[in-house]
């Protein structure tokens, strides 16, 4: 499946900013004693990592 560059850009920044939000939310949950706060932090960090890998992938895509 080949994504156009504009869609890839939207996906990248959605993952990065959504991941940052997830990390902050998870830290707040963990601080208040919720047991699943750590899982939310890990999921957010994973989303950020995927976004960063997609930034590298986007650097290899040529615009038409």
In a domain, 49, yes or no: yes
Q: What is the pLDDT of residue 1?
A: 63
pLDDT tens per residue, the chain (64 residues)? Answer: 677 878 889 999 999 999 999 999 999 999 998 889 999 999 999 999 999 999 998 888 776 6
| Residue 44 belongs to some domain of the structure | yes
Q: Is 6 within the bounds of a domain?
A: no
Kindly state whether residue 8 falls inside one of the protein's structural domains: no
In a domain, 10, yes or no: no
DSSP-derived secondary structure for 14-45: HHHHHHHHHHHHHHHHHHTT-TTHHHHHHHHH
**How many separate domains does the chain show?**
1
Q: What is the pLDDT of residue 25?
A: 95
pLDDT at 62: 75
Q: How far apart are the first and last CA of the chain?
A: 17
Q: Which domain holds residue 36?
A: 15-60
What is the structure's pLDDT at 3?
A: 72
């Amino acid at each position: 499946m080949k994504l156009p560059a504009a869609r890839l850009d939207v996906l990248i920044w959605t993952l990065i900013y959504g991941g940052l939000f997830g990390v902050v939310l998870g830290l707040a949950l963990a601080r208040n004693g919720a047991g699943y706060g750590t899982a939310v932090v890990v999921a957010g960090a994973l989303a950020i990592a995927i976004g960063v890998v997609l930034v590298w992938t986007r650097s290899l895509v040529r615009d038409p």
